[in-house]
Amino acid sequence: MVFLYSVHTDHAGHKYGWMSREYLQSIEEADQQIGIFFQKLRQEDLFNDTHFLFLTDHGGIGKGHGGRAQRK
Protein backbone atom coordinates (compact mmCIF):
# COMPACT_ATOMS: atom_id res chain seq x y z
CA MET A 1 0.00 0.00 0.00
CA VAL A 2 1.27 3.44 -0.91
CA PHE A 3 -0.25 6.68 0.38
CA LEU A 4 0.51 9.79 -1.65
CA TYR A 5 -0.49 13.15 -0.27
CA SER A 6 -0.34 16.45 -2.11
CA VAL A 7 -1.32 19.68 -0.44
CA HIS A 8 -0.38 21.71 -3.52
CA THR A 9 -3.95 22.45 -4.63
CA ASP A 10 -5.09 23.32 -1.10
CA HIS A 11 -2.29 25.86 -0.69
CA ALA A 12 -3.12 27.42 -4.07
CA GLY A 13 -6.78 27.73 -3.09
CA HIS A 14 -5.97 29.45 0.17
CA LYS A 15 -3.36 31.74 -1.35
CA TYR A 16 -5.02 32.72 -4.63
CA GLY A 17 -8.69 31.83 -4.14
CA TRP A 18 -10.76 28.85 -5.16
CA MET A 19 -11.26 28.48 -8.91
CA SER A 20 -8.59 31.13 -9.58
CA ARG A 21 -6.21 30.67 -12.50
CA GLU A 22 -3.46 29.59 -10.08
CA TYR A 23 -5.76 27.13 -8.34
CA LEU A 24 -6.82 25.51 -11.61
CA GLN A 25 -3.18 25.39 -12.73
CA SER A 26 -2.26 23.57 -9.50
CA ILE A 27 -4.90 20.93 -10.30
CA GLU A 28 -3.39 20.49 -13.77
CA GLU A 29 0.09 20.13 -12.25
CA ALA A 30 -1.16 17.49 -9.80
CA ASP A 31 -2.84 15.65 -12.67
CA GLN A 32 0.41 15.66 -14.64
CA GLN A 33 2.30 14.20 -11.68
CA ILE A 34 -0.30 11.44 -11.33
CA GLY A 35 0.21 10.69 -15.02
CA ILE A 36 3.97 10.39 -14.48
CA PHE A 37 3.36 8.04 -11.54
CA PHE A 38 1.01 5.91 -13.66
CA GLN A 39 3.57 5.74 -16.45
CA LYS A 40 6.24 4.51 -14.03
CA LEU A 41 3.87 1.81 -12.79
CA ARG A 42 3.23 0.75 -16.40
CA GLN A 43 6.98 0.60 -17.10
CA GLU A 44 7.41 -1.74 -14.14
CA ASP A 45 4.37 -3.82 -15.21
CA LEU A 46 2.57 -2.93 -11.97
CA PHE A 47 -0.27 -0.77 -13.26
CA ASN A 48 -2.78 -3.49 -14.15
CA ASP A 49 -2.46 -5.15 -10.74
CA THR A 50 -2.77 -1.92 -8.78
CA HIS A 51 -5.96 -0.50 -7.30
CA PHE A 52 -6.35 3.25 -6.85
CA LEU A 53 -8.46 5.30 -4.49
CA PHE A 54 -8.46 9.05 -5.06
CA LEU A 55 -9.75 11.45 -2.45
CA THR A 56 -10.02 15.16 -2.94
CA ASP A 57 -9.59 17.99 -0.52
CA HIS A 58 -12.42 20.23 0.62
CA GLY A 59 -13.78 22.95 -1.58
CA GLY A 60 -13.73 26.59 -0.74
CA ILE A 61 -15.21 30.02 -1.13
CA GLY A 62 -12.89 32.95 -1.64
CA LYS A 63 -9.73 31.91 0.18
CA GLY A 64 -11.47 30.05 3.00
CA HIS A 65 -12.76 26.56 3.57
CA GLY A 66 -16.27 27.10 2.33
CA GLY A 67 -19.52 27.54 4.11
CA ARG A 68 -22.17 29.93 2.96
CA ALA A 69 -21.41 32.15 0.00
CA GLN A 70 -21.49 35.85 0.67
CA ARG A 71 -24.50 37.48 -0.98
CA LYS A 72 -24.02 40.81 -2.64
Indicate the pTM of the whole model. Answer: 0.76
Task: Check if the beta carbon of residue 18 is closer than 8 Å to that of residue 60.
Answer: yes
Per-residue pLDDT of 13-65, as tens digits, reads: 899 998 999 999 999 999 999 999 999 999 999 999 999 888 776 677 878 87
Q: What is the chain written as a DSSP string? A: -------HHHHHHHHH-TTSHHHHHHHHHHHHHHHHHHHHHHHTT-GGG-----------STTS--SSPPP-
Is the C-alpha dihedral spanning 18, 24, 28, 29 positive or negative? negative
